Amino acid sequence: MKRLLMLTALAASAAAYAGPGAHGPNGEHLDAPAQTLVVADRLARLPDGSVSMPMLAQRRLGIRTVLARQSAVAATVELPGRVLMDPNAGGRVQTVVGGKVQPGPAGLPVSGQRVRKGEVLGEVVYSASPLEVANQRAQLAQLKSDRRLAGQRVQRLESLEGTVARKDIDTARAELESLAAREKALSAGLGATEPLTAPISGVIARADIVAGQVVEPRDVLFEVIDPTRVLVEASASDVALGARVGSASLEGVPGVTLEFLGAARALRDGVLPLTFRASGTDALPLAIGQPVTVVATLNEKVEGVVLPAQAITRSGANEPVVWVKASAERYVPQPVQVRPLDATTVVVTQGLAAGSRAVVQGAPLLAQVR
């Protein structure tokens, strides 16, 4: 027994310090690198670019495959776009005359705060120049004096009623009423305030004022939107694309569907605007001005293999790749050409044969093996 243990130790020592060309008892190369001997027993990137992955590692990483099947699906096209305010479900709050901002009864609202239609968001106090204020005060003083004299004249004429013509009394009363109305209007103009009210019920998308800020006429102070109703405007270089668009979706934004409203009849900066209405659950995960990618479904068919979007990875050359299961523990990256179908699926048009075992879960983990 001791002799057997000694021989085993000597064999292990010889394997560790074997010279070039040394062989073991079974003919294996003892001078070969350790990773070459155990490459099939652990995660490793093979020289041909494929990945060796034991079954235990596959189960731990959750690698799942499906059998590729060819099918005919609706063709799609990717279009750059951005989120816009729906003019029927949003509005801007502006000042007409300008002046100094004052908080409303509940203070100045902030972005993201909910408001009700007609709610006072703030006030703008008209600020005139000192010369204008002096002229208005002088006119007001003159009107007050004229009103007092007119009132005294009316009293005198009314005391002489019967000896004075009725039309003179009526004329004096009308003059007194005119002077009183002019005085009231001029007094109100000195401290005039302009209320800023919410045009719709919704959420404050933008708030650009603080208390005491001086604003100019037509400045946009607030933007109020309905978060469940927004528009998406896409840009297309093909002017005939509007006649071929059916449904659409947003890439990377699941749960949001787009309804095609129509295409413009005039180019803007060399491209044709296409308008979609976004709909979904309670509040859409979109912000006004956000750039998005619109995946528009065309009234055409294309042949290919439909796979989840997570099945597509990128190679070192930035090419789209699908990992194919070549054997029980070996996966091969296959360059392909893909087109998006919606926010979560794509169609592989070239590079993937029917009947191949394509990885649909865990593909990014395979791509990270080195």
Which are the contacts of 56, defined by CB distance < 8 A and separation ≥ 6? none
Cα(225)–Cα(202) distance, integer angstroms:
5
What per-residue confidence (pLDDT) applies to 186? Answer: 72
* Residue 39 pLDDT > 80: no
Q: DSSP readout, 224-289?
A: EE-TT-EEEEEEES-TTGGGTEEEEEETT-TT-EEEEEEE-SS-BTTBEEEEEEEE-SSS-S--TT
Instruction: Quickly state the pLDDT bin for 190 (edges 50, 70, 90).
Output: low
Cα(324)–Cα(103) distance, integer angstroms:
64
Structure-model confidence comparison of residues 125 and 13, the more confident one: 125
Closest by CA to 195, choosing from 96, 332, 92, is 96
Cα(54)–Cα(56) distance, integer angstroms:
5
**Mean pLDDT to the nearest integer, 104-118:** 91
* Residue 81 pLDDT > 90: yes
* Residue 6 pLDDT > 50: no
Could you tell me which CATH class the domain 90-126+193-225 is placed in? mainly beta
**Mean pLDDT to the nearest integer, 24-43:** 44
How would you label 307-334 residue by residue, b for 16+ Cβ within 10 Å and e otherwise? Answer: bebebbbeeeeeebbbbbbeeebebbbb
Cα(49)–Cα(106) distance, integer angstroms:
65
Domains of the chain, by residue range, sit at 2-32, 39-88+226-370, 90-126+193-225, 130-190
What per-residue confidence (pLDDT) applies to 148? Answer: 87
* Residue 268 pLDDT > 60: yes
Structure tokens at 175: 């003059």
Q: Is the pTM of this model over 0.75?
A: no
What per-residue confidence (pLDDT) applies to 23? Answer: 35
Instruction: Quickly state the pLDDT bin for 291 (edges 50, 70, 90).
Output: very high
Cα(304)–Cα(350) distance, integer angstroms:
7
Instruction: Quickly state the pLDDT bin for 133 (edges 50, 70, 90).
Output: low
* Residue 86 pLDDT > 60: yes
- What whole-number percentage of the chain has pLDDT above 90? 38
Structure-model confidence comparison of residues 103 and 13, the more confident one: 103
Fold of the CATH domain 39-88+226-370: Elongation Factor Tu (Ef-tu); domain 3 (2.40.30)
Instruction: Quickly state the pLDDT bin for 312 (edges 50, 70, 90).
Output: very high
